[in-house]
Amino acid sequence: MPLLASKDLKQTKNDHSRKVVIHIRDLRKSFGSNHVLNGFNMVLHQGENLVVMGRSGSGKSVMIKCLVGLMTPDSGYIEVMGKEIATLNRLTLDELRLDIGFLFQGSALYDSMTVRENLEFPLRRHKKKLGVVQDTAPLVPEALENVGLGHTMDLMPSELSGGMKRRVALARTLILKPKIILYDEPTSGLDPITAKEIIELMRSIQKKYGTSSLIITHDVDCARVISERMILLVDGINYAGGTFSELSSSSDPKVEAFFKK
């Protein structure tokens, strides 16, 4: 039986103080006989940091990919910034994607381009839509300075460490000034110190730009520091929801398993 899930949903729906930016209802996705998502529900409010936690292979990444149209769900309803994803054509979906930043698990920097070119790539392509009439070049150093990597501009991604790659990817995400940022395992594969730096960076970005953040992780430390609210994804459903302290003090064995050291 799902724990706290329905209570959590009622709470968020009644939270009228903040606008809903993402609404997922009864999301289902299967790969053959493997049912990854079995009716997942979620609401993200404006300016909120929501953490979705789950074991590896629990469907977290699938859910986040359905959210930006990289995967098509079998059924369910996904609404982002008031627009239903399933009804959008390619052009309108691309327009909507300008408001959504996505930090990939492996950073996904284009390895045939330098750091500068990586950042210029989305910028050049959306110059008109973003209303950037002047030269885009000064925006790149500014974005890199924001993540503390102003000196890496002419390096290739292969010359960067894992943490630096993650920061550059974050700078590339921020350069389009998105309203929502989706983080897919932002600290996975990083040492504890670098992971802490990335988390701090995420917090400072949220404060500075007031973005709404959806963080997919299985890192408890990351969830503790950054989350305002959490959802535990178990067996393809939101098994439990609440604040970090509520969930970490739960006596439910499935919830407890996440927080046990």
Partner 1 sequence: MVNRIKQFFIQIGELSYFSSRFFKETFNLPFEFKELLRQCYQMGNRSLVLVVMTNFIIGLVLTLQSRPTMIQFGAVSMMPNMVGISIVREIGPVITALICAGRIASGIGAELGSMRVTEQIDAMEVSGTNPFKYLVVTRIWATTLMIPLLVIFGDLIALYGSALVENLKGQVSFQLYFNTVFDALSFGDLVPATVKSFFFGFVIGLVGCYKGYYSKKGTAGVGIAANSAVVMASLLLFVVDFIAVFVSDIFYEI
Minimum CB–partner distance for residue 110 and partner 1 (Å): 6
DSSP 50: E
Three-state secondary-structure class, residue 100: strand
Q: Which of 7, 13, 70, 159 binds partner 1 (CB under 8 A)?
A: 70
Q: d(Cα 176, Cα 257) in Å, to the nearest integer?
A: 38
Is 215 a binding residue for partner 1 by CB under 8 A? The answer is no
Indicate the residue among 125 and 207 with the shorter CB distance to partner 1. Answer: 125
- Total binding residues for partner 1 by CB under 8 A? 24
Q: Does 110 bind partner 1 (CB under 8 A)?
A: yes
**Residue 98 is a binding residue for partner 1 (CB under 8 A):** yes
Confirm or reject binding of residue 209 to partner 1 (CB under 8 A): no
Of the candidate residues 4, 62, 78, 109, the single one contacting partner 1 (CB under 8 A) = 109
Residue type, 95: E
For 91-236, strand residue ranges (E) read 100-103, 180-184, 212-217, 229-234
Contacts of 172 (CB under 8 A, 6+ apart): 109, 118, 119, 121, 122, 143
Q: Which stretch binds partner 1 (CB under 8 A): 14-22, 47-55, 65-73, 78-86?
A: 65-73
CB of 175 to partner 1, least distance (A): 10
Minimum separation from the CB atom of position 115 to partner 1 (A): 14
* Dihedral angle sign, alpha carbons of residues 7, 219, 109, 139: positive
Determine, following the binding rule CB under 8 A, whether residue 125 of this chain makes contact with partner 1. yes
Write down the residue that tokens 């940091």 correspond to: 49
Q: Does 144 bind partner 1 (CB under 8 A)?
A: no
Q: Is 106 in the site for partner 1 (CB under 8 A)?
A: yes
| Dihedral-angle region of residue 81 (phi above 0 means left; psi in -120 to 50 means alpha; beta otherwise) | left
Residues 248, 82 contacting (CB under 8 angstroms):
no
Site string for partner 1, 161-200 (x = CB under 8 A): -----------x---x------------------------
φ, ψ of residue 83 in degrees (nearest 5):
-115, 130
3-state secondary structure of 42: strand
Tell which residue, 157, 170, 68, has the closest CA to residue 109: 157
- Chain residues binding partner 1 by CB under 8 A are 65, 68, 70, 90, 94-95, 97-98, 100, 102, 104-106, 108-112, 121-122, 125-126, 172, 176
